[in-house]
């Protein structure tokens, strides 16, 4: 098996935001239904805009959510079996 030695550990949303200096976003993101960092992947640009987050920052947050969940940002990781 060629498993990565250190899989990303899902962080709580609060830990992630505090670590990025974005703690003030916790309450509005929680209101949108984000409880874990991975949940940010489900939030649309329009929802980010509703709470004052620009599209660029929204896309960045979504990319971080995908990283934290261990999911590939796009496509399938090399060497994985995508026929499942």
State the pLDDT at residue 72.
53
State the pLDDT at residue 52.
95
Paired tokens of 9: 């550990």
pLDDT, averaged in runs of 10, over the chain (84 residues): 54 90 96 93 95 95 84 48 48
State the pLDDT at residue 6.
55
State the pLDDT at residue 78.
47
Q: Using CA atoms in the order 7, 9, 10, 12, what is the torsion angle rounded to 10 degrees?
A: -170
First to last CA, the chain: 17
CB-based burial of residue 67 (10 Å sphere; 0-12 exposed, 13-18 middle, 19+ buried)? middle
């Amino acid at each position: 098996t060629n498993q990565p030695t250190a899989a990303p550990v899902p962080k709580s949303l609060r830990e992630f935001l505090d670590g990025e200096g974005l703690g003030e976003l916790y309450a509005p993101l929680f209101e949108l239904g984000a409880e874990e960092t991975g949940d940010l992947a489900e939030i649309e640009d329009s929802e980010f805009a509703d709470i004052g987050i620009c599209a660029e920052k929204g896309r960045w947050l979504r990319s971080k959510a995908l990283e934290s969940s261990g999911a590939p940002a796009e496509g399938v990781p090399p060497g994985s079996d995508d026929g499942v």
